[in-house]
Chain A
Amino acid sequence: GAVVSQHPSWVICKSGTSVKIECRSLDFQATTMFWYRQFPKQSLMLMATSNEGSKATYEQGVEKDKFLINHASLTLSTLTVTSAHPEDSSFYICSARPGTGVGEQYFGPGTRLTVT
């Protein structure tokens, strides 16, 4: 149980285009979902937190107009990287916290984004 999927697992796009990444909790309802960015050999950087049906809360320094997050249902959140630049190339990971959120988060497998 507690499986989180991400799609796509990797994507290559051209500068200036937009890319959408989906995060789904497959066997539980996730009131809260999180989006992280991970650079090589570095820890996770929390980008934003989203609750179903409400606006995402972005961390300081993260451009909300560039990284659009939509938490449309209790099992789906999407991250859209708009007008992508090469510096947006990274490993993006989502996680979901089930129910009342007392316990752990479950992570998706990640999406490798390369912007050319």
Chain B
Amino acid sequence: AQSVAQPEDQVNVAEGNPLTVKCTYSVSGNPYLFWYVQYPNRGLQFLLKYITGDNLVKGSYGFEAEFNKSQTSFHLKKPSALVSDSALYFCAVRDPTSGGYQKVTFGTGTKLQVIP
């Protein structure tokens, strides 16, 4: 079975400071990993993904994430936080060897609050 853990319910960071939102995963094979962002009363927006290749993945709005196989982590990062980055962030994992519809498992979400 696949699973995702986001250990922090909320992360507070001052505007202009670097931010990190943590994610660890568990799958039996090599994972597909995703980050999504959700603004209030909205659906999720895709930020970035790791499928294969370079461990550092760059995505939308200046976000990036680093795949670390030994630590089974896929932390989301941004060098300089903006107030507009305040939202709910979800990490997700998919096991491409799972067969069937290869459903995605989402973490519980981390609320990012950027303080002006």
Contact = CB atoms under 8 A, between A and B. Distances in A.
A102 B45 CA distance: 17
**Chain A interface size range:** 20 to 34
A93 B90 contact: no
A113 to B, nearest CB: 13
Contact of B43 (A43, A51, A103, A107): A107
Contacts, number: 53
Contacts of A44: 44, 90, 106
Interface in B94-116: 96, 100-104, 106-109
Contacts of A104: 34, 46, 49
Contact of B109 (A43, A101, A112): A43
A42 to B, nearest CB: 7
B41 interface: yes
Interface of B: 32, 34, 36, 41-46, 49, 51, 90, 96, 100-104, 106-109
Nearest to A6: B43
Given A6-B43, A110-B43, A103 B51 contact: yes
B95 to A, nearest CB: 13
A110 B103 contact: no
